[in-house]
Structure formats: C-alpha cells, structure tokens
Amino acid sequence: MIFGDLNERPARPSAPSGEVRRRRRSRRGPGDNSEPRRRRRSSFETASRLTEPLPNPQDRGHAAWLWVLGALIVAVAGFAFYLHAARSGATFLPGEAPTAKLLPFVDPILAPLQTGDAGYGAETLAEMVSGFRAERDKVNRDDAEIYATAATIAGFLQQALEDRGRHLERLGRINGPAAGPAEPGTTRPATSETQRKHLELAVDVSWQRNSTAHRNSIEELWVRLARLEQGRFRAGSAAPAQPAIPEQPPPAND
C-alpha cells in the first residue's frame, strides 16, 4: 500500500440497481418527453407529404389543348364575321343583271312551233355568250361565277334556237309546194292531207320533247343565277327567279 499508484482512484462502492434507475428517471424529469414528440411530429409530416396529390403532367397537356381549341374557335368566328361584313358591304356590279338580259329570249325560243320564228338569230346569242365571258374576266372570283352561269344559259338558249330552226324547216318542207298533189305526167308522189297532218304531229312531238329538255336545263341554272345575283345589282335590274317559260300544249290526236 505504501508503494501503490498515487493516480489510481479508489473504487466507488457500487450502488444498487434500483437506485441507479431512480437517478436516471430523476435526471430526465417527469415532463421531459421531447424525443417521443419529435418522433410523432416527424411521422405526421411524413404522412402528410405522402397523402398530398402529386401533379399530373396530363392535366397540363389538357389545359394547353383547351387553350389552343379556344384560340381556333375565336379565329374561325372572327374570319366568318369578316367574310359576312365584306359580303354585306360589297359594291353593286355595273350594268343590268344577266337574268334581265336573258329573259326576253326564253319565251320566243321555247314557245310552240305554231308561233313561228323566234325573231332572234343565233349570232345574237353568240354575242351574248362572248359578252358574259368578257365580264367574267373583269371581276373577282366570286362575281365571276355570275357571268359564267349566264354564259352557260345563253349557250343553252343558242342550242335551243338552232334546234327550233331545224324543226321549223321540217314543217316548211311538209307544207311546201313539194307536198302538194303530183303534176300530170310526173312520177312525183303526192302527199295526202292525212299524211301531212301526221308528219306535222311528228315534228311537234319531237319539238316538245327537245324543248322540255332545254327548259329543264335552263330553269336549273336560272335559279342558281338568280341566287348569285342577290345583293350584287341594284334593285329592279334583275329578272324573277323563275323564267316565264310556256308549257307545251298536248299533242292533238290524229
């Protein structure tokens, strides 16, 4: 013991285990439970972050498409309004409406053959076709359809006039001097009154059939032309939508 280590501390007597536990509890204190609180708070924050909805990239794409669709609708509506305003404010075309120029030719050309010659030549209608085509080349694309349709109608009237002329020539040959009784001493056959009426009826039936086809073609284009002329010419310069085309009388029985 005399020569013992001076730095060596004497060993403390060990305290009972129950006393050590009481000391640890006294150091911690009855209200000191910060560590469990931190754990509960950390668990709550973690749970709240997990339950929070994540942003969906498809929602952003749908919203962008909705914006694009709305912009397209606005653009289309604005363009339609512009076209309507431009059409409403269009200036009148000069001169008389094509229907008013064509109407005087319809009745005489498509009338029954008993009325005789129509009073117009094919050259007049050919000049009208050329005039309408010249007007078509002067105007814009929308108005060009007016004169193009009028030129087509004038062409149909020209064909009907030429067809009428051929039927009138056939009637002339039937009722001409060559259809009379045969001269004495000749072999030229004579045409009886019954045969002559039969031939006249055949020519009339042929013209009725042809004039009906001409009338149907002209009326269809006439309605279209009248619709195109609305608002493009001054009031009173256009003809009615339906031309006054007389109906053919029923063929007489032999």
| pLDDT average, residue stretch 12-39 | 52
pLDDT digits (tens, 9 = 90+) for 153-182: 999 999 999 999 999 999 988 887 655 555
Please tell me the distance from the alpha carbon of residue 141 to that of residue 110, in angstroms, as a whole number.
32
Please tell me the distance from the alpha carbon of residue 194 to that of residue 93, in angstroms, as a whole number.
57
Q: Provide the 8-state DSSP code for 31.
A: T
In this prediction, residue 4 carries a pLDDT of: 53
In this prediction, residue 67 carries a pLDDT of: 82
CB atoms under 10 Å from CB of 233, counted, come to 19
H or E element in which residue 62 lies? helix 57-88
Q: Provide the 8-state DSSP code for 38.
A: H
User: Is residue 67 classed exposed, middle or buried when 0-12, 13-18 and 19+ CB atoms within 10 A define those classes?
Assistant: exposed
Q: How many Cα neighbours within 13 Å face the side chain of 112?
A: 13
Please tell me the distance from the alpha carbon of residue 69 to that of residue 66, in angstroms, as a whole number.
5
Is the pLDDT higher at 152 or at 76? Answer: 152
Please tell me the distance from the alpha carbon of residue 66 to that of residue 71, in angstroms, as a whole number.
9
CB atoms under 10 Å from CB of 222, counted, come to 25
Question: How many residues in total does the chain contain?
Answer: 254
The percentage of the chain sitting over the pLDDT mark of 90, rounded to a whole number, equals 34
In this prediction, residue 234 carries a pLDDT of: 73
In this prediction, residue 165 carries a pLDDT of: 94
pLDDT digits (tens, 9 = 90+) for 193-252: 888 889 999 999 999 999 999 999 999 999 999 999 888 887 655 555 555 444 544 444
Single out the residue of 248, 47, 52 nearest to residue 164, CA to CA.
248
Our CA dihedral for 90, 96, 101, 104, rounded to 10 degrees, sits at 120
CA-CA-CA-CA torsion sign (136, 137, 143, 144): positive
- 252 Cβ contact partners less than 8 Å away, ≥ 6 residues apart: 201
The three-point CA angle 130-133-137 to 5° equals 140
Please tell me the distance from the alpha carbon of residue 160 to that of residue 113, in angstroms, as a whole number.
12
Residue type, 38: R
List the domain boundaries for the chain.
Answer: 97-180+190-229
